[in-house]
Amino acid sequence: MKKLMRNKLLLVIVCTIIVLLIAGIAALIYINGLDKAYDSSKSDTINVTVEMGSTTEDIGTLLQEEGIIESSSDFKFFSKVKGYDGKYQAGTYALAPSMTLSEIAEIIISGKTNNITFTIPEGYTIYQMADKLSEEGIVDREKFVSLLTDGNFSYDFLSDAQSGKNHLEGYLFPETYTVEFGADEETIINTMLNQFDTVFTEEFKARAEELGYSLNEIMVIASIIERETQVDEERGKVSSVIYNRLKEGMPLQMCSTVQYILGEQKEILSNADTQIESPYNTYINQGLPPGPICCPGLASIEAALYPDETDYLYFVVSDKLDGTQKFSSDYNQFLKDKEDYYNALEQQE
């Protein structure tokens, strides 16, 4: 009888241990499952201020309201299990939905509030940058725009840039930047201008001179390539079309330059659009516009400096979904390609 009781007791103990192990493993899996990014595609940071005396629950609620985490209750539970409760420090932090709960917690525990990271996409205009940085709470839009139009920035590469409100267009290099928290609008603009100065090397300057174009003209060409191309492999071909048309004395007739005037991306321009009086309108003016129509990335700058060798004079979108284009040297072929594209659009509708 005693032996039977011992065996039952042993069985109970073993079962209890197994249940506890399973529960522990399940809890560990659950906790690790919480330690993920709310949205890994959103890496742009948002400035979040943790007030003095904030509880873990307060911080979780704030992070959820700002769209940085999915659940404040998960944050609270995760913090308690990980031993982060009571360790969070007041301050303003640059946080993003692409950060995991551990990364967010460790930043707020560290108290390091001196860095802000932001990303400028390739092909943005300087005023799109102003909107984006303002929406992210990094700059005061009015101050930023005032510096864009009237600021005094002394860089050699700006010596032949266009004058007026678009003076800096093309030269605020699109990149991911990290600056000190509280950096003012002038510091941020200088940071982007300094990056352009680094990217546009002496080799690039020599190549521009070899081609017989000024730095500003190269940046105009690069900006058109940026706006006209969605597929990296086609940048050199688009570049060759621009140079070939310039060589032939043909107007560039680039939709992107008219869209720059309109301030919007229209899929199909109207005849009235192409007749707008503006030095940027390459349908009615020969040669290049007075300045860039956006801030191009490195790939487009390189394509402007090293175009493919082709006899192409025309191109038109062939597939709306992947952005690929058909290139041709014959006008009749271009018209056929254009008609094919319009017919495809009608079928999709």
Share of the chain above pLDDT 70, in %: 88
- For the segment 115-133, what is each residue's pLDDT rounded down to a tens digit? 788 999 999 999 999 999 9
Half-sphere exposure for 270 (CA within 13 Å, toward CB): 4
- CA nearest neighbour of 293 among 61, 147, 124, 69: 124
How many Å apart are CA 159 and CA 81, to the nearest integer?
Answer: 59
- Which pLDDT does position 47 carry in this prediction? 81
Q: What is the pTM of this model?
A: 0.71
- Which pLDDT does position 1 carry in this prediction? 57
Q: Which amino acid would we find at residue 343?
A: N
- Which pLDDT does position 94 carry in this prediction? 82
The answer to whether 74 and 102 have CB atoms below 8 angstroms apart is: no
How many Å apart are CA 75 and CA 69, to the nearest integer?
Answer: 8
Res. 222 pLDDT band, cuts 50 70 90: very high
- For the segment 288-328, what is each residue's pLDDT rounded down to a tens digit? 999 999 999 999 999 999 999 999 999 988 777 678 889 99
- For the segment 49-105, what is each residue's pLDDT rounded down to a tens digit? 888 889 999 999 999 999 998 888 888 888 888 888 889 998 888 888 999 888 888
pLDDT of 33 > 50? The answer is: yes
Res. 28 pLDDT band, cuts 50 70 90: low
3-class secondary-structure state, position 208: helix
Res. 26 pLDDT band, cuts 50 70 90: very low
- Residues 6 or more apart whose Cβ sits within 8 Å of residue 274: 253, 258, 281, 283, 284
Q: Where is average pLDDT lowest: 4-13, 31-40, 61-70, 168-177?
A: 4-13
pLDDT of 106 > 50? The answer is: yes
Question: How much is the average pLDDT of 191-199?
Answer: 97
Half-sphere exposure for 195 (CA within 13 Å, toward CB): 21
- Which pLDDT does position 348 carry in this prediction? 64
- Residues 6 or more apart whose Cβ sits within 8 Å of residue 122: 174, 226, 295, 296, 297, 299, 300
Partner residues linked to 249 by β-bridges: none
Partner residues linked to 326 by β-bridges: 316
- Which pLDDT does position 242 carry in this prediction? 97
